[in-house]
Each structure stands twice: as structure tokens, then as C-alpha cells.
Amino acid sequence: MSVILVGAGPGDADLLTLRAARHIASAQVVVVDRLVDPSVHDLIPLSAVVHYVGKTPGESHSQASINELLVRLGQSGQRVVRIKGGDPFLFGRGGEELIALHEAGVACDVVPGISSALAGPLAAGIPVTHRGVSRGVLVVTGHVADGEFPSLRDMAHPDISIVVLMGIAHRAQISRELVSGGLSPETPVAVVERAWTSSQRSVRGQLDGLAVMEVVSPAVIVIGPVAAMSLREISAQLAGAI
């Protein structure tokens, strides 16, 4: 009895680890999130039974129901692969699923994925740390827990990059919290939508304009001086010179 918990990375299937791709290709049963890229779905065998458990506005699978499904499938004796976007253990509730399986006596093998917190910004040419620009990075959630928005004031450091996951719906509060914590309203901001997919889009601006940026989920918000950088332009120039 076992389940393979696979991190699908931030987008294109080319960013999967070899181990992840191998497990997906041999799955008999797959439990998959909504945000997993279609290119990853293409690796699922046609003979596999697929359960879609994504969370969408107005229609959502509770975490408890997902845990119950994984336990039931894990006890079936089939090769069960649970695919979650990004890295399942960075605001992905991977730990909750692993604990539920453990308590039910179902073994769980974990395959880490590339986190969108790091790879998402890089898709737009933004390094989350850069010598002389940012000496560290904070990864936080913009998701409201129990109806209460988490305070970000103590995270307002001008030489530390802030990466916000699941923060689009509350970007106005994010901006207010960080400015009240001491960040300049002119601090560079970048929002990267659907990183590493064919529909990727980046929007840049300043912290005081974050609330009115025309952006949609899923997206990663980058706040700090690195958000003004674009290594893609540099790499393109170098490639053109070769």
C-alpha cells in the first residue's frame, strides 16, 4: 500500500525531475490538481484512472476529502501517483496529505518539485537574490486563513526580496501592510502569471500601484529591487552576440 507524492514544478513538463516523470508514466491511478500544466497531463498513461481534485472558485474539493481519497486509493494496491503543482511542501499542503496517509498505514514516497516561488520569478528574468541588490528572500502566502489576513509589516526589509504566493486577490492589503511596515511606495514590483507555460505574462510596476495592477491568478508576486531586473534581456543579448 503506497502513494507517490509528486511535485510537478511551476509549469512545463520539461521542468519535472526524471524521477517524477518516471513515476507519472507508470501510474495506474492519478490524483491531480487543477493548476498542473497540460504538458504534464500528457505524460499520464491513457490506461490510468485520473481523479481531478483541483480547487476552483465556487467548486472545490476540501483537503479532508482529498486526504480520504488518497487513503482509499493507496489501500487499493494499485500504483497511485498524486501530482501537485510546484513543490508540494511549500504552501502546497503536501505535509497534510503525507500525515493522513501515514496515520492510515499507507506508505508515501515523496518526489520534490521545483517551487514556483523561485522558478516563477526567473521565468521573467528575475533572480530572487542578487549580490549587491538582495541579500535574502522571504517566501510568504497571501492566502487568507480563517478570514484574517496575515500581517506582513515585520517582513518589510528593503534589501530582502519578498515573494508572495496566492496573493493576487489580496494585493491591496499586501501593499498597505508593507508600506506601513516601512517599505518605500516606489519599491519595484513584478507579477508573473502562469510562469513557464505558453500563456505566461509579466507585469511590472511599483508597490503603490500593486493594488490596481491588471493581473490574474495563478501568479507569483515579487517585491523588492530585484523585481526591476531582467536577466532574460541580458541572456538574449549574449545569445545574439554569439
Q: Are strands 49-52 and 29-32 parallel, antiparallel or unpaired?
A: parallel
Cα–Cα distances in Å, from 69 out to 97, 233, 238?
Answer: 10, 46, 50
Q: Is the peptide bond before 88 cis (omega within 30 degrees of 0)?
A: no
Set 33, 37, 84, 87: catalytic member = 33
Set 12, 37, 55, 84: catalytic member = 55
CA dihedral (159, 218, 95, 110) positive or negative: negative
How many CA atoms lie less than 13 Å away from 188 in the CB half-sphere? 17
DSSP letters of 36-104?
A: S-HHHHTTS-TTSEEEE---BTTB---HHHHHHHHHHHHTTTS-EEEEESB-TTSSS-HHHHHHHHHHT
Active site residue 33: yes
Give 3-state DSSP helix, strand, coil % of the chain, rounded to 5: 35, 25, 40
Which residues participate in catalysis according to the annotation? 33, 55
